[in-house]
Amino acid sequence: MPGTPQIETGGSSRPNKPWNPDAKLIPPPDMDYPGAACPPVPDDVIVVPKNLPGPTPNSTLYSHTEVFFAGWAWDGAGLGDQAHRLPHNAKHPAGCSKPHPFYTQYTNAYAEDTNYTMGMPTLGSAAAHPNAVLKAADTLAQMLKQIDAKVPGVRQYMVEHRSRFAVWADSERRNDTCDYCKKQDPTFDW
């Protein structure tokens, strides 16, 4: 899944307040947005491009971009050989890009002890109430601050691995399968 650019949205969380009144929602940004930041790919993620030369002349090693997690024995939730395959429409994970058009709202969740480059992009669908997106970002920022105080480095690890949080409306909730999720956002990663 490509990363979501990090933008300063005034969203630093402040304890004991319903939410930061300075926080704002903007349309999801791309990397051309002024001040956009994209975390570098961490050392434990190895991206192998699809056009890497293969062992024989005029051949390639892979027919698609592959992503490997160094030191992990995880098979992608039972996907076997497909565990490292990117979705066909996914962008190269080395960069950040604008999220799927399903998401129309964006804010950045970060606590007052850090800055927006250590925040988690928080996305909202068109049907999600704006206050729900802002409150989710505020809660997320405080949770990350508290867990980082107990287990230092967790927040940084999540940022480096391009975690994001999405808010959907109740009307968009699904209890049967993730097929709907994948139709709305083909890069949906459960």
Same domain, 63 and 111: no
Q: Quick one: which of 16, 12, 40, 39 has its CA closest to 24?
A: 12
Q: Quick one: which of 1, 2, 3, 24 has its CA closest to 121?
A: 3
Residue 151 domain-assigned? yes
Same domain, 128 and 49: no
Same domain, 116 and 178: yes
Same domain, 31 and 109: yes
Residue 190 domain-assigned? no
Same domain, 113 and 54: no
Between CA 177 and CA 166 the distance in angstroms is 17
- What is residue 113's predicted lDDT score, i.e. its pLDDT? 85
Task: Inform me whether the pLDDT recorded for 152 exceeds 80.
Answer: yes
Identify the H or E element spanning 143. helix 130-150
- 83-87: which pairs have CB atoms within 8 A and are 24 or more residues apart? 87/1, 87/186, 87/187
- What is residue 38's predicted lDDT score, i.e. its pLDDT? 87
- What is residue 91's predicted lDDT score, i.e. its pLDDT? 41
Taking only the tens place, the pLDDT of each residue in 113-124 is 888 888 899 999
Same domain, 54 and 127: no
The more confident residue out of 9 and 42 is 9
Range among 9-13, 139-143, 160-164 with highest mean pLDDT value = 139-143
- In this prediction, residue 73 has a pLDDT band, given cuts at 50, 70 and 90, of very low
Same domain, 119 and 171: yes
- Which structural domain, as residue segments, surrounds residue 73? 42-94
Same domain, 28 and 114: yes
**Token representation of residue 144:** 């990350």
Of 58, 76, 94, the residue at which a domain comes to its end is: 94
**Token representation of residue 66:** 């592959």
For residue 156, the tally of other CB atoms under 10 A from its CB is: 15
Taking only the tens place, the pLDDT of each residue in 122-141 is 999 999 999 999 999 989 99
Domain count, the chain: 2
Share of the chain above pLDDT 70, in %: 68
pTM for the structure as a whole: 0.69
- What is residue 14's predicted lDDT score, i.e. its pLDDT? 62
**Token representation of residue 87:** 């979705």
Same domain, 101 and 75: no
